[in-house]
Structure 1
């Protein structure tokens, strides 16, 4: 069973880091002010405002900021400012044994996906596919904050990963399986293949989501995961939203699921809202879950945090 970080409480300290692409200083400052208005203390990484073209500082600088947050005993939650590109570049510079001994809540999605899975795999800690700093703003749906703070502050189990009302989960291939949840953004996970940090789906429940790609490109990535054995090795599949994805050659994202995911024969649930869409369910990466594709439910068998 993976190690769990301490639960988040009112007045705890959040460490802000920029691990991929840069984010404008005014946006960072506005989101930090919103976090503070929620009763949380905030500290900023040394390179949080850094800009190095399409990256926020060098790989070593971004990695150093992340390790400093794990080393700071006052930090309870590590919140990347955004994803973008470049998160994979910090992976060789992290001390995974130190992180294992000093687990913290770390949340994100998009390009942060690769880090969430690597920390679950190499440091054996539960991470959270949920909000980034950019999501802490007044117009964020209350559902997103409810799911985030429920996951980071509560140890009550069992509980379910649910969409907001009116957006049901859909069971597409019946079956009941249990295993740790892994996955996230499809592009980021495909980028890890063939590296020392590629995703391990053996005995896992695999979750995938994507954004702003034509369906034929999504097919290319799905096929690459298939050829790499990632669908063969997993126990079950959760296909999330393909936010802003466009049709290609008259084929939709749902067509792709019907034609290439359903025939895999693994228990399959679709339509989970987490990641780039408006609504963001909180998914603890590395935590045990039960996927019941007969009735379209995902139950967590352990919390993401501890007291």
Structure 2
């Protein structure tokens, strides 16, 4: 596969497209959305540009695809960011024009269900950015987490190496979006605990691929945006995360097992595993239940690696995906995992 293209970066003062290629939740929860837009303006100096389905619940897949096309094709727009994730972006993919996106490459920021579009851009040879959404990271209660703010700023405006660092403290418990008071208060956090390394005997540097594990499983089931020649993933760095749906350890193992059976898992010499989300409004786990969920997920990942990729190095509790603070990971860009030095460096 050809060398991936890093799209040109925006500068303060530029316009940034804000789209909802998954769910139109800005319509239902305008408070964190408006807060995120304001931070794009005041903290990053970017001017948000909205599209017909950005604040529209129930927009059709074709409508959302049209917004993606419009955002990428507009020469005055220098970057694109998702308002939030969702659960049906896979239905948008058949409506996308691959040649249009190739002709107008731009930095795209999103995660969760936006794994679909990031994987699509990967197949187009365009580097995307797994991380940051308007409603969650930019619309965070209190203030943006400093680790998130710095990572997003570097990914938006700079090129070159950026060393990641573990969060001293992190947040797992969410606050309600329909209460103005909750957006004004700093959310509670707990000790981060650092990264946990498995088989850290070597240094791996390669192009990244991955995203939310459940979304990847859907792509694999539909055989969409997966390279026909699996050797395209040889030497790449896999990164994975799980969402607030709190995927069970058994489900995590089965997805990874099936990736192994397909001949995919062993092709990645390194895995970055995002800090497991262990609390949700539907499952408000206490501290003991959260610890159990995290431990069982890690054991499930290690069991799959032992069976299908015994030489793969893994780093657990990396602050990527559904966690706060959140580090932006280039999707298709270069990631260096230095086991002996216990360092992770990405290229934005």
Cα distance in 1 for partners of 2:145, 2:209 equals 25
Cα distance in 2 for partners of 1:87, 1:61 equals 12
Match of 1:286 among 329, 332, 337: 332
Cα distance in 2 for partners of 1:237, 1:33 equals 35
Cα distance in 1 for partners of 2:92, 2:291 equals 34
| RMSD between aligned residues | 2.2
Cα distance in 2 for partners of 1:98, 1:243 equals 36
**Residues 82 and 110 in structure 2, CA contact (< 8 A), matched pair in contact too:** yes
- 1:248 CA drift (Å): 7.7
| TM-score normalized by the length of structure 1 | 0.88
**Residues 106 and 127 in structure 1, CA contact (< 8 A), matched pair in contact too:** yes
Matched with 1:189 is 216
Cα distance in 1 for partners of 2:99, 2:223 equals 16
- 1:251 CA drift (Å): 6.4
**Residues 166 and 319 in structure 2, CA contact (< 8 A), matched pair in contact too:** yes
| TM-score normalized by the length of structure 2 | 0.79
Match of 1:147 among 143, 151, 157: 151
SS at structure 2 position matched to 1:24: helix
Aligned residue pairs total: 296
CA offset digits 1:156-191 (Å, max 9, x no partner): x33323323455333211332221011111001111
- 1:284 CA drift (Å): 0.5
Please give the residue correspondences for 1:202-241 in structure 2 after superposition, counting only pairs within 5 Å.
Answer: 202-211=234-243, 212-241=246-275
CA offset digits 1:220-251 (Å, max 9, x no partner): 22222222222122232112221117688996
- 1:270 CA drift (Å): 1.8
- 1:297 CA drift (Å): 1.9
Change in 2 beyond 3 A, CA 1:51/1:15: same
Match of 1:11 among 5, 10, 13: 13
SS at structure 2 position matched to 1:243: coil
Cα distance in 1 for partners of 2:55, 2:301 equals 40
Cα distance in 2 for partners of 1:99, 1:284 equals 18
Matched with 1:75 is 77
**Residues 183 and 206 in structure 1, CA contact (< 8 A), matched pair in contact too:** yes
CA offset digits 1:259-291 (Å, max 9, x no partner): 333552212222211110112111101112222
Matched with 2:199 is 173
Task: Judging by fraction of residues, say which structure has more helix.
Answer: 2
Matched with 1:125 is 126
Structure 2, unpaired ranges of 5+ = 169-191, 228-232, 280-289
Cα distance in 2 for partners of 1:250, 1:151 equals 28
Cα distance in 2 for partners of 1:97, 1:262 equals 40
Cα distance in 2 for partners of 1:289, 1:249 equals 28
Change in 2 beyond 3 A, CA 1:178/1:223: same
Matched with 1:259 is 303
SS at structure 1 position matched to 2:25: coil
Structure 1, unpaired ranges of 5+ = none
**Residues 16 and 43 in structure 1, CA contact (< 8 A), matched pair in contact too:** yes
Cα distance in 1 for partners of 2:79, 2:38 equals 16
CA offset digits 1:204-235 (Å, max 9, x no partner): 11001112222222222222222222212223
SS at structure 2 position matched to 1:191: helix
**Residues 163 and 281 in structure 1, CA contact (< 8 A), matched pair in contact too:** no
Cα distance in 1 for partners of 2:334, 2:39 equals 32
**Residues 207 and 238 in structure 1, CA contact (< 8 A), matched pair in contact too:** yes
**Residues 298 and 316 in structure 2, CA contact (< 8 A), matched pair in contact too:** no
